[in-house]
Amino acid sequence: MRLVSFSLDGGSARPGLVVGDEVIDLGDPVTGLPSTMRELLALGPVALEQARAAPAGRATRHALAEVRRHAPVPDPPAILAIGMNYRAHVAEMGREPPEWQYWFNKQRTSIAGPGDDIVLPAVSDMVDYEGELAMVIGRRCQHVPADRAHEVVAGYTIVNDVSARDWQWRTPTFTVGKSFDTHGPIGPWLTTADEVPDPHALTMRLTVNGELRQNTLTGGMIHNIFQQIEHLTTVMTLEPGDILATGTCSGVGIALQPPRFLKPGDVVRVEIDGLGHIENRIVADPWPSAQGESARTKAHATT
């Protein structure tokens, strides 16, 4: 299934099921399902089976082209991302593969929809792209062994882990440089795990204004998806709706010679075979700098 969060005429986001060029409103009371994606995922497999049966019912339908699509889970409990997780990316940065998994968080306020604008902040001139496969957790879970980790994945989606490199390298945790508003476009929908037989055999591409910058197979990860879940759940409880970004590949702007950062008017497209694509335009910051600076800190590495 392709599950989407959508809205009409400025209303709140509600869950839907994409069928062809239509979206079935799963928040319609006739379905008996909740009105948010996060609540839907929390109800587990029974609710997903109800959603799967929705095309046979009387729920309201809308043309997909006429709705606004939001991030599949607009309000996740957490957004976590792993750094330096593709061998080719580690190599392009001149670094050694990390001994341990390297995780950081993006704030929920960074989330944007699959077609929303990405704001280039006035305080940074080193904004970069990072196309990534993301997984969405479907069950509250802790201490999950890798060989059972597939049981807790609701599905997969696409994220652009937009990064203000100068701000990223001001602190060792990366969070601030990864969390500017709109710097987390996600979508276009959540493809349920049953439709992704092998998440490590997907082709991922990123283009800027049609120019191919990133192109990889997801099998290039150092720590695979299920190892990631095992690692995280050793430490913390994961919740339904949590979004885990699984790392970017080689070709990021900071690694090019010379580096090439995003500028207003650029269009960034990330696509993964079988999962669709997101496409976001870069726009100038409508707000003046709150600090009166033009952050130009030199960055020497990336995630």
Supply 4's token pair. 């989407």
Q: Between the CA of residue 251 and those of 66, 93, 218, 273, what are the distances in Å?
A: 34, 10, 14, 18
Measure the CA–CA gap between 157 and 215, rounded to whole angstroms: 17
pLDDT for 95: 83
Instruction: Note whether 8 and 62 are within 8 A (CB).
Output: yes
pLDDT for 303: 52
- With a CB cutoff of 8 Å and minimum separation 6, the contacts of 75 are 36, 38, 108, 241
**For 189-220, b where at least 16 C-beta lie within 10 A, e where not — what string?**
bbbbbeebeebeebebbbbbeeeebbebebeb
pLDDT for 103: 96
* Alpha-carbon 282 to chain mean position: 17
pLDDT for 289: 57
Ranges for all domains in the chain classified under CATH 3.90.850.10: 79-284
pLDDT for 293: 46
Q: Model-level pTM?
A: 0.93
Measure the CA–CA gap between 74 and 60, rounded to whole angstroms: 21
Instruction: Note whether 136 and 157 are within 8 A (CB).
Output: yes
Instruction: Tell me which amino acid residue 196 is.
Output: V
Q: Between the CA of residue 94 and those of 90, 188, 215, 259, 261, what are the distances in Å?
A: 6, 33, 19, 15, 19
Short-list 116, 71, 118, CA closest to 266: 118
Task: Output the CA angle 156-142-42, nearest 5 degrees.
Answer: 55
pLDDT for 292: 47
CATH topology of domain 79-284: Fumarylacetoacetate hydrolase; domain 2 (3.90.850)
Supply 266's token pair. 């650029």
pLDDT one digit per residue (tens) for the chain, 303 residues: 999 999 998 899 999 999 999 999 999 999 999 999 999 999 999 999 999 999 999 999 999 999 999 999 999 999 999 999 998 898 888 788 888 999 999 999 999 999 999 999 999 999 999 999 999 999 999 999 999 999 999 999 999 999 999 999 898 889 999 999 999 999 999 999 999 999 999 999 999 999 999 999 999 999 999 999 999 999 999 999 999 999 999 999 999 999 999 999 999 999 999 999 999 999 999 986 544 444 444 444 445
Strands (E), the chain: 2-7, 14-19, 22-25, 61-63, 68-70, 79-83, 102-106, 111-112, 118-120, 127-128, 131-137, 153-160, 163-164, 184-192, 203-208, 211-217, 243-245, 267-272, 276-284
